[in-house]
Amino acid sequence: MDHALHYGECLANGAVETLHARVDAEGIPWSPHPVYAGVWVKHLVCGAETGGRASCHLVRVEPGCSLASHVHEQQLELHEVVVGSGQALVQGKAMAYAPGVVAVIPQGVHHEVLASADGLWLRATFAPALK
């Protein structure tokens, strides 16, 4: 089995533990991104669990799809590439995305994420919380 795919499935079907509860990640639905076609999001940790300090999301970008150029004015964003490949353009700089790559996207910086033909899964963490 592809280790990266296994890790992605573990995140998607694992659990989220907090001091107050355990939530099976498998029961958290994949939601279509409200803006970008072919992009799905699983909200693993929302700001309600962190006092608004951080949030963590599993993001699935279908083959050939993208999160077009956008900016988070208030959030630092970390991407951990879990499955697949692609690239990010961060303030015009191209970054190759492959399993194990972690990218830091400062707040207020325009960025775009493009999935290759095999698609792309990211764990995206925001501080402060996005949602």
pTM, rounded to two decimals: 0.89
Q: What is the pLDDT of residues 22-76, one digit of tens each?
A: 888 888 999 999 999 999 999 999 999 999 999 999 999 999 999 999 999 999 9
Could you tell me how far CA 53 lies from the centroid of its own chain? 17
Q: What is the pLDDT of residues 93-126, one digit of tens each?
A: 999 999 999 999 999 999 999 999 999 999 999 9
Q: What domain range includes position 51? A: 3-101+108-127
CATH code of 34's domain: 2.60.120.10
- Residues comprising the chain, all counted: 131
- What is the C-alpha to C-alpha distance for residues 98 and 131, in angstroms, rounded to an integer? 26
As for how many domains the chain has, the answer is 1
Distance spanning both ends of the chain, measured CA to CA: 33
